[in-house]
Amino acid sequence: MGFEVKQLWSAPEINPYNKKAKSIPVLNPVNKYGRVFFFSYLGFFIAFWSWYAFPPLLSHTIKKDLHLSPNEVANSNIISLTATLVVRFVAGPLCDRFGPRVTFASLLFLGSIPTALAGTIQNATGLYFIRFFVGILGGTFVPCQVWTTGFFDRNIVGTANALVGGWGNSGGGITYFVMPAIFDSLVNKRGMSEDKAWRVTFIVPFILITTTAVGLLLLTDDTPTGKWSERATVVQAPAGQIVSATGGLADKPAGTGSISSSDDKKAPLPTADVEAVTGEVQIIDEVQHEVVQKPTPKEAAKVIFSLQSLTLCACYVCSFGGELAINSILGQYYLKNFKHLGQTQTTSGQWAAMFGLLNIITRPLGGFIGDLLYKWTGHSLWAKKYWIHFVGIMSGVFLIVIGQLDSKDLDTMVGLVALMAIFLEAGNGANFALVPHVHPHANGILSGLVGASGNLGGIIFAIIFRYNGPNFGRVFWIMGIIVIALNLSFSWVRPIPKGQIGGR
């Protein structure tokens, strides 16, 4: 099915087997698929903004008020990423158990509490404590991706995941504009002292988080057919027969025989845009295997330790892990190399914000091209996988160039960072364009695992930054070597496990 502009606001065509949408009604928040899309990216956007609300004010105002050393600032960045790693890993199984919508809202509510308490911080220990629990908000990425995967079909799921992820990620750029702007307004127009103003500033994201969470709960559904507890009935034949999809992850669903053996079909069943099938039996068998199941520890372990899962994790360590670490230090890097930006967080922060804001375009581009290659190659998942490695290696090349040049010319530095960001952030979208195809019956577990690996990468790179002090250039080229090496090391692995049913 080709793209038409009216699909941006029209009710989407629905896959009759799994009730997933075949297009994205981006401009139609009234439609139930449009509402899920809207709240997926809005919830993650607000969460990401709040999660990264500290760095724009931390490099100058908070650091000065709390008398923090550079190492204490770096430690707080690492602690924030550590919390999110844990939450993302746990959020995956929670999505499979309770559904992504409830998990999403719960994480937003939990993360709003430490955000509101940010103003109570008095020293480095308090900063560590609050930033750890604010890190809960970073875990919202997992339900965000699992939720859209459950509502959008294979032909468009990479683009859907990349759009909500990219637009959500852009909160990390917006925060560099908004948080200093709120702070400056409180100081210049309200007459607040700096030490009071930065504390009051955190009330704004608190209000937005709670409002979004309430709207998400009241205005959206768990699955295309309603409640999460009834998700097994999502699998239906177009003629109306409901097919059971309950059981363990490794079980072969029952019931396909009765459907395929019916001799009195009143109309031919639609088969357009259904990949790699030989008939209705195989279609329904695949769709049944794609319904998320409640995992046992043994079944979850098979998913976690498969080569395909490890490959996705390694690539996400490079892309999102690199992005997180760079997001935390880029403002400081610009201040170091370009003294004329001034010793305030506002100007350097706005330049650094460009890196995060590129996610509005770059991450969706990664998922969109992944879906396009999938279509052009006759639904080859190798095409999606090689796209991940290509953008990964290219981002590594630019990281090395940036680190080696360590440019003192602002135009050169910003241009190189932008080029690097295009490939690095496209890698995020490319990665989650493939994730829905791999172990689809355990999408929550895999999404949580891959999402957590991004934070692991962020922690690893943040630690390297921590122990190299102000020598940012050296860390950039070290990161580049790591990124290239990891992508080459896993380039040979099959995109999905041999013999997997569903997700092809």
pLDDT tens digits, 177-220: 889 889 999 999 888 998 999 999 999 999 999 999 999 999 99
| Average pLDDT rounded to a whole number, residues 73-80 | 87
What is the pLDDT at residue 231? Answer: 73
What is the pLDDT at residue 242? Answer: 46
The lowest-confidence range among 67-76, 242-251, 302-311 is 242-251
What is the pLDDT at residue 440? Answer: 85
Higher pLDDT, 105 or 59: 105
What is the pLDDT at residue 15? Answer: 86
Question: Considering the chain, what is the average pLDDT of its residues?
Answer: 84
The full DSSP string for 414-465 is HHHHHHHHHHHHHHHHHHHHHGGGSSGGGHHHHHHHHHHHHHHHHHHHHHHH
Q: Is the pLDDT of residue 227 over 70?
A: yes
Are the C-beta atoms of residues 347 and 481 closer than 8 Å to each other? no
Angstrom distances, CA of residue 503 to CA of 60, 234, 303, 461, 497: 48, 16, 14, 33, 10
What is the pLDDT at residue 289? Answer: 59
Q: How far apart are CA 312 and CA 431, in angstroms?
A: 7
Q: Is the pLDDT of residue 248 over 80?
A: no
**What are the pLDDT digits (tens) for 281-311?**
555 555 555 566 666 788 788 889 999 999 9
The 3-state secondary structure of 247-259 reads CCCCCCCCCHHHH
CATH class of the domain comprising 25-226+299-489 = mainly alpha
| Average pLDDT rounded to a whole number, residues 424-428 | 95
How many beta carbons lie within 10 A of that of residue 310, not counting itself?
16
Higher pLDDT, 339 or 183: 183
Question: Quick one: pLDDT band at residue 80, thresholds 50, 70, 90?
Answer: confident
Tokens linked to 247: 């059981």
Q: Is the pLDDT of residue 21 over 60?
A: yes
| Average pLDDT rounded to a whole number, residues 417-436 | 94
What is the pLDDT at residue 250? Answer: 42
Are the C-beta atoms of residues 124 and 130 closer than 8 Å to each other? no
What is the pLDDT at residue 7? Answer: 77
| Average pLDDT rounded to a whole number, residues 222-236 | 74
Paired strand residues for 152: 21
| Average pLDDT rounded to a whole number, residues 322-344 | 80
What is the pLDDT at residue 464? Answer: 92
What is the pLDDT at residue 244? Answer: 46
Higher pLDDT, 112 or 231: 112
| Average pLDDT rounded to a whole number, residues 145-159 | 91
| Average pLDDT rounded to a whole number, residues 421-443 | 92
| Average pLDDT rounded to a whole number, residues 117-144 | 94
Q: Is the pLDDT of residue 483 over 90?
A: yes
Q: Is the pLDDT of residue 267 over 60?
A: no
Query: DSSP secondary-structure letter at 7?
Result: G
The full DSSP string for 86-128 is HHHHHHHHHHHHH-HHHHHHHHHHHHHHHHHGGGG--SHHHHH
Are the C-beta atoms of residues 392 and 319 closer than 8 Å to each other? yes
Are the C-beta atoms of residues 25 and 136 closer than 8 Å to each other? no
For residue 363, report the phi and psi dihedrals to the nearest 5 degrees. -65, -45
| Average pLDDT rounded to a whole number, residues 329-350 | 74
Question: Which residues have a Cβ under 8 Å from the Cβ of 282 and sit 6 or more positions away?
Answer: none
For residue 156, report the phi and psi dihedrals to the nearest 5 degrees. -130, -5
| Average pLDDT rounded to a whole number, residues 47-64 | 88
Question: Quick one: pLDDT band at residue 263, thresholds 50, 70, 90?
Answer: very low
Question: Quick one: pLDDT band at residue 151, thresholds 50, 70, 90?
Answer: very high
| Average pLDDT rounded to a whole number, residues 245-249 | 43
Q: Is the pLDDT of residue 315 over 60?
A: yes
Percent of the chain with pLDDT over 90: 53
CA trace torsion 311, 315, 320, 322 (10° rounding): 130
